[in-house]
């Protein structure tokens, strides 16, 4: 019985997540909903909130990416400078 409830919860959670993904939600659908607060009891809403949290996190990571990419590029450029040269004596 408990396993059936778990499976139903997971199914509804995934449905909410996929629905938010299909709609390409970037903010909650209803005004006054705050994803930083505890989500509603509905598994569908919890799935939607989880998707929104991941969107927010990915945006934060994208904002940090250019600086990190520049660091990687400069390391790669330094390594590339020595390619094709023989050993110096």
Domain edges within the chain: 2-63
Residue 89 has pLDDT above 60, yes or no: no
8 A C-beta contact, residue 58 and residue 26 = no
Q: What is the pTM of this model?
A: 0.58
DSSP string of 47-72? HHHHHHHHHHHHHHHHHHHHHHHHHH
Give the tens place of pLDDT for each residue, 30-60: 666 666 666 567 888 889 888 988 988 888 8
* DSSP H/E element including 80: helix 43-81
**pLDDT score at 14:** 93
8 A C-beta contact, residue 48 and residue 14 = no
């Amino acid at each position: 019985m408990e396993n059936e409830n778990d499976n139903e919860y997971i199914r509804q959670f995934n449905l909410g997540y996929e629905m938010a993904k299909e709609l390409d939600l970037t903010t909650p659908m209803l005004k006054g909903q705050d994803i930083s607060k505890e989500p509603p009891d509905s598994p569908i809403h919890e799935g939607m909130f989880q998707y929104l949290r991941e969107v927010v996190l990915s945006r934060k990571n994208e904002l940090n990416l250019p600086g990190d990419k520049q660091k990687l590029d400069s390391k790669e450029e330094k390594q590339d400078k020595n390619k094709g040269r023989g050993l110096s004596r």
